[in-house]
Amino acid sequence: MHENKDPRPPAPNDIRLRKLLDDALTAPHWPDGFIMRPFEHRDAQALHALLEEASDDGADGPFDDWWERISGDAEFDPDLCFLVIDGKGLLAGAALCWTSGFVKDLAVHPSSRKRGIGEALMRHVFLAFRDRGAIHVDLKTNTVRHAAAFRLYERLGMIPVGWEG
Who has greater pLDDT, 55 or 66? 66
Q: What is the pTM of this model?
A: 0.91
In this structure, the dihedral spanned by the alpha carbons of residues 7, 4, 25 and 78, taken in order and rounded to 10 degrees, is 90
- Average pLDDT over every residue of 71-90: 96
The pLDDT of residue 152 is above 70 = yes
The pLDDT of residue 55 is above 60 = yes
Domain ranges of the chain: 2-161
Residue 121 host element (H or E): helix 117-131
Q: List the one residue out of 117, 67, 123 whose CA is nearest residue 92.
A: 117
Per cent of the chain over pLDDT 90 is: 79
Please work out, in degrees rounded to the nearest 5, the angle formed at the alpha carbon of residue 154 by the alpha carbons of 79 and 11. 80
Strand partners, 106: 95
Strand partners, 19: 137
Can you give the three-state secondary structure of 131-156, one letter per residue? Answer: HCCCCEEEEEEECCCCHHHHHHHHHC
CATH architecture, domain 2-161: 3-Layer(aba) Sandwich (3.40)
Encode pLDDT of 130-150 as tens digits.
Answer: 999 999 999 999 888 888 999
φ and ψ at 157, to 5 degrees? 90, 15
The pLDDT of residue 5 is above 70 = no
Residue 82 host element (H or E): strand 76-85
Per the prediction, the chain carries an average pLDDT of 91
Q: How confident is the model at residue 45, as a pLDDT?
A: 96
Confidence at 10, pLDDT banded by 50, 70, 90: confident
Q: How confident is the model at residue 3, as a pLDDT?
A: 45
Query: How many Å apart are CA 3 and CA 24, to the nearest integer?
Result: 27
Sign of the four-CA dihedral 94, 98, 101, 105: negative
